[in-house]
Amino acid sequence: MIGRTAEIDIEKLYDVVVSPETWPHLLHDIARSANAVGTCLAADHGRATLVARPVSPDLTAPIDDFLNSGWYKRDLRGQRAWPLLRQGRKVLVEHDISSEDERRHSDYHNEWLRPWDLPWWGTLGFSLEGQHYGLVFLRNSKQGAFTHEEMHRLHGLQADLGRVLSLIDLLSIKQAEGMLDGFDLVEKPAFLLNASGRVIRFNAHAKPLLQTDFALSHGALRTAHPQSNERLQKLIATALTAGISASRTEPHWIAVERPARRPLIVNALPVMGGLADILTGARVVLTVNDLEHKRLPPPDMLWAVFGLTPAESRLAMRLAAGEDLSLAAEALGLSAGTVRGYLKTIFAKTDTHRQSELLQLIARMGGI
């Protein structure tokens, strides 16, 4: 039975914002206050239930099984509870969502819950920015079923949980915006997506791609090439649900085909794990590698590192940009013999022996 008042240190709840590693210990304390095996935070994801990791320590193995065995796709409790929570219910217990016959005979109860001895469930429901959440409590057979009265005694947690998630959501967006700025510094296009897969930010280097290779349709990022667009949407969907299962094997990148040009490589990066996995704000950063784009070092770097003269640096940069020796000579107003002489000197100063080695060296310097 839960005591007259759930003894939870609310300050510890707010500490989670800056010290996320304390979350499982806090969940453990909350579970003990409710005489439960453990507790976890879950989110309504339409046809599936998302669970934020980590969970309270005593639920780690059962929740891993729930996610990795695919029970989150056949979550009977979620299928019954989320519609009620969307209607405004704040407290639910096992008897609200399952019958005695189901608890005795359903696959869900017998194949997943019974082996872990977690027959009894209760949740505190709340919403944030249109997203519905539940703080889920699980009890074993000895601890017995939750009552509405017991769950109502924990009702005060809901408001504080909402505030904490709002702060974490804001922090994750700020961190993601910092990532976008960082990618700008290395000339890499990047898009920031929310939990619905909609673009909510993009950096300066991503903007030109929206005029040529990508388009935004009601916030959704798309490509003109049908097969590439199909791969892109699958990549985004996979990245958004990356927190569901610990054993996902889908690739985290795709190639976007372009007519008469080399493809773009799109990578998906999660913003952060843990509680952010079930929030509605910043969830995924997509970065784009343009195989047509050559990022070259500034000419003065070649002079500073290898002692190349300004004329030698200009020649090296033109070669690195894709010009052959004759085109570079014409552009620089030099004879073929002079250019060959410069190239021989450049080889000596950079300790390279052929043009391909030189180009690889300059390309590596472009990533500094």
Q: DSSP characters for 255-274?
A: EEEETTEEEEEEEEEES--G
Asked whether the predicted pLDDT for residue 6 surpasses 60, the reply is no
* Structure confidence at residue 31 as a pLDDT band (50, 70, 90): very high
At residue 216, the pLDDT reads 96
Min mean pLDDT across 87-96, 106-115, 275-284, 306-315 is at: 275-284
Alpha carbon separation from 258 to 251, 262, 321 (Å, rounded): 20, 7, 21
Q: What mean pLDDT comes out for the span 127-142?
A: 92
Residue from 266, 282, 270 nearest 243 by CA: 270
Tokens, residue 184: 């700008």
For the chain, give the percent of residues with pLDDT over 90. Answer: 54
* 17 vs 242, higher pLDDT: 17
Asked whether the predicted pLDDT for residue 1 surpasses 50, the reply is no
Min mean pLDDT across 94-108, 128-142, 284-298 is at: 284-298
Domains in the chain, please, with CATH?
A: 10-155 (3.30.450), 173-290 (3.30.450), 299-366 (1.10.10.10)
Contacts 24+ apart (CB under 8 A), 309-317: 311/342, 312/342, 312/345, 312/346, 312/349, 315/339, 315/342, 315/343, 315/346, 316/346, 316/358, 316/362, 317/362
Min mean pLDDT across 38-42, 133-137, 154-158, 243-247 is at: 243-247
Asked whether the predicted pLDDT for residue 48 surpasses 90, the reply is no
Alpha carbon separation from 305 to 46, 164, 309, 320, 349 (Å, rounded): 57, 50, 11, 16, 10
At residue 245, the pLDDT reads 42
Alpha carbon separation from 281 to 2, 78, 87, 240 (Å, rounded): 35, 22, 23, 11
Asked whether the predicted pLDDT for residue 131 surpasses 60, the reply is yes
At residue 276, the pLDDT reads 64
* Structure confidence at residue 228 as a pLDDT band (50, 70, 90): very high
For the chain, give the percent of residues with pLDDT over 70. Answer: 92
At residue 167, the pLDDT reads 87
Q: What mean pLDDT comes out for the span 315-343?
A: 90
* Structure confidence at residue 247 as a pLDDT band (50, 70, 90): very low
274: left (phi over 0), alpha (psi -120 to 50) or beta: left
Q: What mean pLDDT comes out for the span 32-60?
A: 89
Q: Please list the alpha-helical segments (H only) found in the chain.
A: 10-15, 23-33, 60-68, 76-86, 94-97, 100-105, 107, 114-116, 148-152, 157-185, 209-212, 226-240, 299-306, 310-320, 325-332, 336-350, 355-366
Asked whether the predicted pLDDT for residue 368 surpasses 60, the reply is no
